[in-house]
Amino acid sequence: MRDYFTLMAGYNAWANARLLDACEALPPGAFTAERGGFFGSIAGTLNHLLVTDRIWTARLAGTPLPPYGLDTLLFTDLAELRAARTAEDAALVAYIAGLTDEACAGEFRWTRKADGVEVVGPLWKTLAHLFNHQTHHRGQAHDLIGQAGLQTPSLDLPVYQREAGA
């Protein structure tokens, strides 16, 4: 399991960077423009991913959760969002690097913010959700970038594997 999550953590950072690279070509105002997405704008969607990763990082570390909601717009400046995203991805890569297969199979407990329900299961199921969630919302951001008239980058896992030698 650890090898799989190592692959996914690297892919996650790569795909996030590719989306942010694509955003560099947006005209002024387009990053935060309302586009009808689930989180409104490209910025809203990418901020949601950062917010949820910060929540998961806190859960994984056993530290207090950040106080903000899932739709909090932490950064409207692309450079600031990129710096925070890069740091978050590096923290996730480092966390995964420290895991063992035994740890992945071990019990993990967390409490849902929405309703206070405690969820218990193997850590690998939580990690699978984390990476699946990223892929889901990256797809939404990818679509919004295309709606803005930009050429969207390939986010296919085999492209990452080829480029990274993974």
- Residue ranges at the known binding site for a divalent metal cation: 48, 133, 137
Query: Would the CA dihedral through 52, 54, 59, 60 be positive or negative?
Result: positive
From residue 10, alpha-carbon distances to 19, 41, 97 in Å are 15, 26, 10
**DSSP β-bridge partners for residue 119:** 110
Query: Which of 60, 61, 55, 64 is closest to 123 using CA atoms?
Result: 60
Structure tokens at 44: 């809203």
Grouping H, G, I as helix, E, B as strand and the rest as coil, residue 118 is: strand
Residues belonging to the binding site are 48, 133, 137
